[in-house]
């Protein structure tokens, strides 16, 4: 069973997913996604997943072009494979965070990986007992409105703080695909972790909603959203939740938060209690 699943949903864009729920089921997220965007002179890999399996070797089957990793943010499930690549970039506010060993419950993660190994669902060379996320020194520091040129294709960096202080989204000028990391996706959205900023989060959603050229939302978790108007629903709902216009429900589970559920639009927002 292949660890990485991939498809080409849009020209020159590969969506690559890992089964996040099998590794850490506490967050109710099915997949974690990274995206390979191919230009004429180079390629960008947006996030590197959980660091399980040889992502670099997998990418090399898809392109021989030079690869620049663009991290949406520093959380472990988006930077786990960074150490397999030479060139990684992140917003300057999160460079120091990326270069620290993350505080993780490795006992739970390694237990999950051991169970997957027994079911032959892991790559053969993966050793669950040695799994870890490595600190990484970013080679490039990004800022809001930076443009990453791939040759006849540009990615525009958009600073979207809220989930984390230096969170970035990337807009592809060729297809209108918006790569949103953990700012916008269907499922439970978290703006309640350490360093999260709920007010900044809803303002970031509003900024994304104002973008005129978005054709699809390519998120860091779960499925691609093909209806750009979904961002309008998210932006409105996030503002109402953060400003107290609607009532949330206290969640006392692993993630202690106040949950605001939008069942019709397929997402919920977790804010601090």
Residue pointed to by tokens 């494979």 = 81
Stronger pLDDT, 105 or 260, i.e. the higher one: 260
Asked if residues 214 and 232 have their Cβ atoms less than 8 Å apart, the reply is: no
Q: What is the pLDDT of residue 253?
A: 86
Half-sphere exposure of 43 (CA within 13 A, CB side): 20
Looking at every residue in the chain, the average pLDDT score rounds to 96
In this predicted model, what pLDDT tens digit does every residue of 50-75 receive, in sequence order? 999 999 999 999 999 999 999 999 99
Average of pLDDT values for 223-251? Answer: 97
Phi, psi (deg, nearest 5) at residue 106: -65, -30
Give the sheet arrangement for strand 140-142, strand by strand: 5-10, 13-18, 32-38, 43-46, 67-70, 88-91, 140-142
Q: Can you give the residue ranges of every domain in the chain?
A: 5-271
Does 1 score more than 80 pLDDT?
no
* Burial readout 181-202 (b: 16 or more C-beta within 10 A, e: otherwise): bbbbbbbbbbbbeeebbbebbb
H-type alpha helices, 4-65: 20-23, 55-60
Total residues belonging to the chain: 273
Asked if residues 5 and 16 have their Cβ atoms less than 8 Å apart, the reply is: yes
Q: What is the pLDDT of residue 252?
A: 86
CA gap 51, 53 in Å, rounded: 6
Instruction: Name the CATH superfamily for 5-271.
Output: Ribonuclease Z/Hydroxyacylglutathione hydrolase-like (3.60.15.10)
């Amino acid at each position: 069973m292949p660890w990485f699943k991939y498809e080409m949903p849009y020209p020159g864009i590969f969506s690559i997913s890992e089964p996040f729920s099998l590794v850490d089921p506490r967050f109710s997220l099915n997949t974690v996604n990274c995206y390979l965007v191919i230009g004429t002179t180079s390629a960008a890999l947006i996030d590197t997943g959980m660091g399980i399996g040889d992502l670099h070797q997998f990418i090399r089957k898809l392109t021989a072009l030079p690869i620049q990793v663009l991290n949406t943010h520093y959380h472990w499930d988006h930077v786990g494979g960074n150490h397999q690549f030479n060139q990684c970039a992140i917003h300057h506010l999160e460079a120091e965070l990326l270069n620290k060993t993350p505080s993780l419950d490795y006992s739970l993660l390694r237990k999950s990986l051991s169970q997957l190994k027994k079911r032959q669902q892991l790559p053969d060379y993966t050793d669950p007992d040695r799994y870890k996320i490595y600190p990484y020194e970013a080679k490039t520091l990004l800022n809001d409105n930076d443009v990453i040129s791939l040759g006849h294709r540009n990615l525009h960096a958009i600073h979207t703080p809220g989930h984390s202080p230096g969170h970035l989204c990337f807009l592809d000028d060729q297809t209108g695909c918006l790569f949103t990391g953990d700012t916008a996706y269907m499922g439970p959205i978290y703006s309640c972790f350490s360093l999260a900023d709920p007010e900044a989060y809803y303002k970031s959603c509003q900024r994304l909603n104002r973008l005129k050229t978005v054709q699809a939302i390519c998120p860091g978790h779960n499925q691609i959203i093909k209806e750009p108007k979904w961002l309008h629903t998210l932006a409105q709902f996030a503002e109402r939740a953060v400003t107290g216009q609607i009532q949330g429900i206290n969640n006392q589970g692993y993630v202690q938060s106040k949950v605001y559920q939008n069942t019709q639009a397929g997402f919920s927002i977790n804010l601090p209690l």
